[in-house]
A and B are shown apart, each in its own frame.
Chain A
């Protein structure tokens, strides 16, 4: 009786349908099956609200197509095998590869579908213990440009304090689709009278409430940021005390910004010169309560890191850094590190990306995926022969999908763990079932409120391992079990919390999470930043030492600097919709009526010019590939002319067949997945 009660009682835990980790309550039916999900009313992160995806998790967890048994490729078909046999065989083949071709012939690739953060750290740990420097992840094309760009300036990526702001600026970010809880803070700011400025070539969801919606040409954000810097400096609207005492390189920035007059900015970005003046004046009036957030939209250009640095510098110019209503330079929880960076530095081994991106390595200790995939195909700098991938789908998310497929198919050993048989899993030698977020327990931190929560394992499916159990079992088979000593995830969570102010049992019993440290502002007054100089770095001697530009020099995107008349459109990819998360959930039936398939957004005048009607399937081609895709003609306010947008993740029309894996940001190796020069043809 008690067993039955336990199996059916509601459980408070956290949603991980996206990386926002909203507090939820999970309900189960009489048989213990997860039946519905509701918002947990009382967590300081989501305040009793969730987004529409949370309820849909029921479908992911109970989906009839979920992988529940290990599969082994036999010729062109799959054979179900026992989990133990699968792990034994994989371990044996990993050892053989490494014995024959060296430890670095193996790689580990972490994707997004089974959480990141803690799970990324575990995968990094396994990779180090395995003795290979080839840790790969989605970080090669998501998140890192912003993290690195901000960290170069501040030593960290501060979070916006919209609730207390007077001027809010969003760059290429659409929180209602990508970060739903952030939308609440933006609306709180607006309620207090803050101005909202949204910078996006598209009229994104959040742009509908903007006081000023700015539509620059794709990839020109850096020029606009420099233009704002110029206005703030030239008008003496910058915070002199802060700049003089807590920053380095201001003179260099002031000198460089001089080129970005409002007219020059207009010529480069298409944003009217007067708008540049207006925004700068609003920032000045609101200073230091100027709060910015840069989204994924500013990444995926060959000048991404420098564009982000330019945006980041505006906070310091306004004196908004770590100020109320400005940015929050949050303190971390200070948990134990899983990554084995110090214990196993592996400095003697070369990485498969040929050390081309030292900055990516310095900040993330990982290997650029575009270059590593080349190594599989070319053997340069050496052959990467084996890969264990957990919950990634790079044939949909990495650029140049055809090449990604070719490379992954060429591996001697390719193991994929995932929830579903993805397009990528189909290329594997072994496919192992992975656990959903309701079948794991892990720590989630909410940096802006300096709070930590711990998720609860709601159910377990026999034979379906959580990430930790998988790495643990592999490590013990490969004779480095000492690095995975914890009995299970709970034991691991307890270890992670050692040395912090948060008690494991308190956290386990707290559905509201625990604030690990009270929020303090202006920490820069008494504590050096984690930049090399300890100050805000407008100019980076570290970058200069590596041969890069010291200031965040602006370079126009390649479609603008090398215009090709045969490719007259500029394609942006990857805009989020409210029921998706990266490439996930496209195939889930109950999601489908609302997000029915791939489409490419087009300005009505461009459609007229081409003679294309709404819903018509056209052929869109870049220099490297082409696909057929239906057109969605949007209102003229919703996208600028000559710009197209298509969201990735659709196997029926995989837009990443058009994106570039060979034009990369020289600083962190990010690929060009936006601002692709394309042409559109009618299919007759």
Chain B
């Protein structure tokens, strides 16, 4: 399964992802309507993009009393059916990442639906902080990066 992975080391909080997500979902640019959210902490010099990781065991889905949350057979995305959602916000509370948002005009919850397998946020991320990839591949890349650092530190021939 592919998900949108985030890399805070490359994020500049440029907000192209928030803009395009709201444009895709609602036809205008407004980060309040975006399923992906980016926080910038100037004091810590940190940029943190956050979106749904479509947990294998999705607590939001388990807790939803209206059975409005399901898993897409094709993309494996965890989806909220806005027509079934009763706006109780139980899913928002259940999500450990805060990746579920509330639309106050529609009185329903919304979240990343992976744009039906073609996530737009990834396409507008020129810095490359967002990628649409299999978790295993993302983990492998992290491991390679870490390995390289370890090799640099413990290698015997680093000073040739």
Instruction: Identify the A interface with B (CB < 8 A).
Output: 38-39, 46, 48-52, 54-56, 176-177, 180-181, 183-184, 186-188, 190-191, 203, 205-206, 208-209, 578-579, 589-595, 634-638
Contacts and interface: CB of A to CB of B under 8 A. Distances in A.
B123 A209 contact: no
Majority-rule SS of B interface residues:
loop
Contacts of B22: 593-594
A637 B42 contact: yes
B20 interface: yes
Given A590-B23, A593-B29, A593-B30, A578 B123 contact: no
Given A38-B123, A52-B19, A594-B22, 19 more contacts: A52-B23, A55-B20, A55-B23, A176-B12, A180-B14, A183-B126, A187-B129, A205-B12, A205-B14, A208-B12, A208-B13, A209-B12, A590-B29, A591-B29, A593-B22, A593-B30, A594-B30, A636-B42, A637-B45
A503 B39 CA distance: 48
Given A176-B12, A209-B12, A578-B15, A594 B29 contact: yes
Interface in B1-41: 9-17, 19-20, 22-24, 27-32, 40
A593 B28 contact: yes
B128 A187 contact: yes
A184 B27 CA distance: 27
A593 B127 CA distance: 24
Given A177-B14, A635-B43, A595 B29 contact: yes
A191 B129 CA distance: 11
A208 B46 CA distance: 7
A182 to B, nearest CB: 8
A183 B127 contact: yes
Given A38-B123, A180-B126, A56 B14 contact: no
A35 to B, nearest CB: 11
B95 interface: no
Contacts, number: 107
A177 B23 CA distance: 18
Nearest to A179: B126
A134 B16 CA distance: 40
Given A190-B10, A593-B29, A208 B123 contact: no
Contacts of A595: 29
Contact of B123 (A50, A591, A634): A50
Given A50-B124, A51-B124, A590-B28, A180 B23 contact: no
Contacts of A50: 123-124
- Which of A209, A591, A636 neighbours the largest number of chain B CB atoms within 10 Å of its CB? A209
Interface of B: 9-17, 19-20, 22-24, 27-32, 40, 42-43, 45, 47, 123-129
5 contacts: A176-B14, A206-B12, A209-B11, A209-B12, A637-B45
A18 B94 CA distance: 42
A497 B127 CA distance: 34
A594 B27 CA distance: 12
Contacts of B47: 208-209
Given A187-B128, A593-B29, A595-B29, A56 B23 contact: yes
Nearest to A594: B29
Chain B CB within 10 Å — which of A52, A177, A190, A203 has the most?
Answer: A52
A578 B19 contact: yes
Contacts of B12: 176, 183, 205-206, 208-209
Contact of A187 (B27, B45, B127): B127
A56 B17 CA distance: 14
A48 B126 CA distance: 9
B23 A205 contact: no
A52 B43 contact: no
B14 to A, nearest CB: 4
A591 to B, nearest CB: 5
Contacts of B43: 635, 637
Nearest to B19: A52
A46 B28 CA distance: 24
A638 B13 CA distance: 14
A607 B130 CA distance: 36
A547 to B, nearest CB: 44
Contacts of A180: 14, 16, 126
Given A176-B12, A209-B10, A51 B126 contact: yes
B42 A56 contact: no
A51 B29 CA distance: 12
A424 to B, nearest CB: 25
B158 to A, nearest CB: 14
B4 to A, nearest CB: 14
B156 to A, nearest CB: 21
Contact of B19 (A183, A188, A191, A594): A594
Contacts of A39: 123
A540 to B, nearest CB: 36
A184 B23 contact: no
A544 B27 CA distance: 56
Q: Across chains A and B, which 9 residue pairs bring their CB atoms closest together, nearest first?
A: A593-B30, A176-B14, A52-B19, A594-B29, A635-B42, A590-B28, A52-B16, A183-B126, A52-B20
A36 to B, nearest CB: 9
A594 B31 contact: yes
Nearest to A595: B29
A205 B126 contact: no
A635 to B, nearest CB: 4
Nearest to B8: A209
Nearest to A46: B126
